[in-house]
Structure 1
């Protein structure tokens, strides 16, 4: 029995204009009112998705989101952390050395802020987040040694294109996955949206057999493969379509709502 619907945001739930369409909103609200859990799954911090959570009415005590691409499971209204996977400055050191060699920028994110390692050059990540989190320009030496970080990102196509060449010292610490064609995310090893959802489902005494997931990009592969019902958008990459159990229309054609209306026989 499906009790939980997990939704990637960009190019899945959101239109090309980064909005939730009226049809998607109405269907998700209907299912949420009926007792189905609706879980937004994203690489963004929870602060950055609060407008979407409020739009969908996902603000009750049992409403959670998967943030940092699985590294954090948080209660929507309070941001209380249910589960967290972190990395330290020591873990980041080999990644920093690799970034210096490749000449790519890095931004390091904790629960509340972003540290731009400006000795590697300022990236476009601050522009992308558009004020949703505070940024601090620091060198690697100035990065707090006692902090616990959720992820590191490199906002450049060069990082994405060179992912196959990561040194073993980096692979040992990180799961590297692109969330966009020009954004490579370095997550704690064995962390992805599926691992975050597993922790959330266990909190409710459930498992992947209760999960339906929607996605389009490589960072959605794990949750679509694990879910009882894994739905690939028509605009999804071939690898996502290959692991999905089902397919739907693209993100600009209300693909999420169309599938849910059919699956749950909504009027």
Structure 2
């Protein structure tokens, strides 16, 4: 199989338990990038939330891209030009906000360059997770800007409540609702997932999914693992991800990405 693009989830896949990029993973990916393979960070985070990893991997050539917001945005790492996007509006989110008030769960809305913590119920820990890479504004839902494009809303809460929210929202027609970590539920525009984002980037390059190797661990990685020519589940991946993958590698804490790539590409 002619692999031209390596798509990588970040949290609990490429990154270790401290949310850092290990030396082994970094050096292995840099070697493959220097060989001409596209290394594409494919994540729920906005590009501002992954700039340190783009820098560490030196993914800053003219045709280097990232897939952000779980496929909602494809953005050039160097110029920051967006070649594909799909977004939510405040009006679309009203049913979710109503449910958040009823079930008492927090919400954060993320635009291309900033985030809004909706504090009607309580402020979540999402800002602490993202760190200082994005500006956050605390706001009540009524005061959330009407003219912004929101590429996703998230609820960071207890895993048990995440399951309850998923059960209550599974039939809402305007959204893709998916878990990206046990304690993080994401509300995306309908039809948006990592496979959708990859399809847009592949069209840009004139390639197919047969040219893709994808690594992931969680529910939001399922579509790209299924679609990729080679889908690789981490050793710590969910049973669902392992069931649809072509291979299972070591855990993220054991440099599982590098372990598989070194063997496959004979590094």
Q: Normalising TM by the smaller chain, what interval?
A: over 0.9
> Where does residue 6 of structure 2 map in the other structure?
5
The Cα shift of 1:120 comes to 2.2
Secondary structure of 1:131's counterpart equals: helix
CA contact (8 A) 1:98 1:167 kept: no
> Where does residue 19 of structure 1 map in the other structure?
20
CA distance in 1, matches of 2:49, 2:124: 19
Point out where structure 1 has 5 or more consecutive residues left out of the alignment: none
> Where does residue 244 of structure 2 map in the other structure?
243
Aligned residues: 264
- Aligned ranges 1:129-148 → 2 under 5 Å: 129-148=130-149
CA distance in 1, matches of 2:215, 2:170: 32
Structure 2 length normalisation: TM-score? 0.96
Deviation track 1:169-224 (CA, whole Å, cap 9, x = no partner) reads xx211111111111111011111111111100110011211110001111111100
The Cα shift of 1:78 comes to 2.3
> Where does residue 222 of structure 2 map in the other structure?
221
CA contact (8 A) 1:159 1:184 kept: no
The Cα shift of 1:167 comes to 6.4
> Where does residue 210 of structure 1 map in the other structure?
211
The Cα shift of 1:233 comes to 0.7
Is 2:163 the counterpart of 1:161?
yes
Secondary structure of 1:129's counterpart equals: helix
Alpha carbons of 1:11 and 1:192: their partners in 2 closer, same or farther (altered >3 Å)?
same
> Where does residue 196 of structure 2 map in the other structure?
195
The Cα shift of 1:82 comes to 1.1
Aligned-residue RMSD, C-alpha: 1.2
Secondary structure of 2:74's counterpart equals: strand
Alpha carbons of 1:174 and 1:82: their partners in 2 closer, same or farther (altered >3 Å)?
same
Moved over 2 A (4+): none
CA distance in 2, matches of 1:233, 1:86: 30
CA contact (8 A) 2:170 2:177 kept: no
> Where does residue 110 of structure 1 map in the other structure?
111
Alpha carbons of 1:75 and 1:16: their partners in 2 closer, same or farther (altered >3 Å)?
same
> Where does residue 58 of structure 2 map in the other structure?
57
CA distance in 1, matches of 2:99, 2:116: 18
- Aligned ranges 1:79-118 → 2 under 5 Å: 79-118=80-119
CA distance in 2, matches of 1:228, 1:213: 8
CA distance in 2, matches of 1:26, 1:116: 36
Deviation track 1:204-262 (CA, whole Å, cap 9, x = no partner) reads 01121111000111111110000000000111110000000111111122211111111
